[in-house]
Structure 1
Amino acid sequence: MTTGAGDHSIVTRGLTKRFRGGQLAVDDLHLSVPRGSVFGFLGPNGSGKTTTIRMLLGLVAPTQGGWDLLGTPMPGGVAAVLPRVGALVEGPAFYPYLSGEANLRRYDAADPKADPRTASRRIGLALDRVGLAAAAGKRYRAYSLGMRQRLAIAAALLGPRELLVLDEPTNGLDPQGTREVRALVREIAADGTTVFVSSHLLAEVEQMCTHVGVMRTGRLVAQGPIAGLLGGEAVTVRVETPDTAEAAAVLAGLGLEGVRTGDGQAVAELGGHAPERVTAALVAAGVAVRGLAVQRPSLEDVFVGLTGEGFDVDG
């Protein structure tokens, strides 16, 4: 077993998947997902995210490499580990004419380890946890997209789970549905469950996750706490002023680096300087300041810096 595997819900070692015809979908993946984290598995469509998830859950055999789930080597530990893992992969599938509760009853009945005598209690707890208790008797076809995603997460939570794997849980949702799923993920993580969220939406991951792994064309190009990844990027100060040359001179005089001007702005890297000190120096020098903004790096900035390209940040 990998050293420190007990501190991680997912560890992969050189995980690789090559399909027939030579297509390399996942290339030498070394992934570490800390226990208790909300881990955003990020990348454009086609970057290898879903293939990785299918390998982790034992749905697709890797070409080479190994992995642990919840500290147990796989695939040998599938029977023991998967009952502790909930998953939503490639969208929910339910009967449209049945109620949410009736659909969950069919999911629960398919679990050979589930005690039918306690099914009602499990289903009630799962519906309550995702905020659908009041809509339990409503037909699935009448559910909104956000409600459908929450029901799918309820199906994944019918038993006690230490790890929840969600593949694009906000895909196709309107802003309200997206907020609902985001809040639910945070609540589940607060209860101690590790949540592994695959997404191509950078803005969503930035708001929801504590850690992130970035995929590009089958390879992992970065991973770690979001705060650490963002902390490596420069914070900039932008001064809107008609006196761009004078403002640039003040910024340079304060010791700020990367000073440049253009489009009615003077811009520089803030570094360790306090924004209020910069403002005071500009005013003292007689610079007509129309606006001053401190711009902190986003996850999109980090991704562009790593790969030289961006992808969908809004959906």
Structure 2
Amino acid sequence: MAIATRGLTKRFGAQTAVSDLDLRVPRGSVFGFLGPNGSGKTTTIRMLLGLIRPSAGDARVLGTAVPAGLDRVLPRVGALVEGPAFAPFLTGAQNLARLDAADRRSDPATRADRVATALERVGLAHAARKKAHAYSLGMKQRLGLAGALLAPRELLVLDEPTNGLDPQGTREVRALVRALAAEGATVFVSSHLLAEVEQLCSHVGVMSGGRLVAQGTLDDFRRTGAQPRVHVHTPDTDLARSALASLAMSPDAEAAASDRDVVVAALPEDRAPEEIVAALVSAGVRVRGFEVVGSSLEQRFVELTGEGFDVVA
């Protein structure tokens, strides 16, 4: 496991921010860490990176106990947490050079090459000589990503990596994360953009009220949600309802009221979609469209937390 915790807990006085956390992040995964405001995500990240000490429990990062082994593990970890901060009157390249110089393991002779490569990877080569105070929010976010990539990393911890980026920048960061995973790195992404996580991540974990309420592969996460439903697009809605009822499928009256040309029903486990289409056609239903709609990440998130899209670190 790239990250493994057991009973990890953090208290601030009488308040428990994270309680009894057993987190498992497989090596090589892109892990989406989700949770509503105040759920304990950022506190968890801070404990994993040694920024705060846990009140109880154990944590291992890349197989090393933290915080005891932070000096050995942190050089293998790149992080972007709660937005990057830079010296405003230094250029982007100069800021990265300062970060690189703070790493006692880095070779000064190859520093310029590392800085140039990191800027190129995040699409900031053209702005290398521009002062950081003139960077937009999205450019500063990219510069923070570049700082996390100055050296080869086995684990990337990214807090809202697409914050402030335009659609093109978001696509580029998505491609970068995929490339890092393809190279063998584990990427741990905290994000409030559920659609982005759904496109990007192989695994997810959901926090609510300081507790981990679900974790696993994205596919398993969806499968444990609401029962999939079939959507039949047809002008013969009454006939379609009768045909579905003959298959012991009860049409959704609420869905029928919202769209008169679509009949919706839960998909039984023992019915194949092609069997349902064949029955509809045999009954004389003019089927103009047929789809099986599974549980989305948003639906599962709401089921687990009772929260909507106001999901921030």
Deviations 1:212-232 (A, max 9, x none): 000011110000010111123
State the shift of 1:141 in Å: 3.7
What's the counterpart of residue 247 of structure 2? Answer: 254
What's the counterpart of residue 179 of structure 1? Answer: 171
Deviations 1:75-100 (A, max 9, x none): 11111111111111110112333322
2:252 alignment partner, SS class: strand
**Which of 137-146 and 188-197 deviates more?**
137-146
Query: Does 2:291 align with 1:293?
Result: yes
What's the counterpart of residue 281 of structure 2? Answer: 283
What's the counterpart of residue 13 of structure 1? Answer: 6
Query: Does 2:230 align with 1:237?
Result: yes
Query: Does 2:260 align with 1:267?
Result: no
State the shift of 1:115 in Å: 2.1
Query: Does 2:70 align with 1:72?
Result: no
**Which of 221-230 and 236-245 deviates more?**
236-245
8 Å Cα contact 2:20/2:57 also seen in 1: yes
State the shift of 1:190 in Å: 1.3
Query: Does 2:192 align with 1:200?
Result: yes
2:215 alignment partner, SS class: strand
Q: Distance in 1 between matches of 2:41 and 2:12?
A: 15
What's the counterpart of residue 35 of structure 1? Answer: 27
Deviations 1:112-142 (A, max 9, x none): 2222222112212222222323332233344
Letter paired with 1:10:
I
1:166 alignment partner, SS class: strand
Q: Distance in 1 between matches of 2:172 and 2:134?
A: 17
Letter paired with 1:159:
A
What's the counterpart of residue 5 of structure 1? Answer: none
8 Å Cα contact 2:47/2:54 also seen in 1: yes
1:249 alignment partner, SS class: helix
1:25 alignment partner, SS class: strand
8 Å Cα contact 1:168/1:200 also seen in 2: yes
Deviations 1:262-289 (A, max 9, x none): 2124212234644444334323323354
8 Å Cα contact 2:9/2:20 also seen in 1: yes
What's the counterpart of residue 3 of structure 1? Answer: none
Q: Distance in 1 between matches of 2:72 and 2:294?
A: 44
Cα RMSD over matched residues?
A: 2.2
8 Å Cα contact 1:41/1:214 also seen in 2: yes
1:39 alignment partner, SS class: strand
Q: Distance in 2 between matches of 1:24 and 1:176?
A: 39
State the shift of 1:167 in Å: 1.1
State the shift of 1:195 in Å: 0.6
Letter paired with 2:231:
R
Q: Distance in 2 between matches of 1:173 and 1:135?
A: 16
Q: Aligned pair in 2 of structure 1 residues 161, 301: CA closer, same or farther (>3 Å)?
A: same
TM-score (norm 1): 0.89
**Which of 99-108 and 303-312 deviates more?**
303-312
Identity of aligned residues (%): 65
What's the counterpart of residue 89 of structure 1? Answer: 81
State the shift of 1:71 in Å: 0.4
Give ranges in structure 2 of 5+ residues lacking alignment. Answer: none
Q: Distance in 2 between matches of 1:160 and 1:230?
A: 33
Letter paired with 2:156:
L
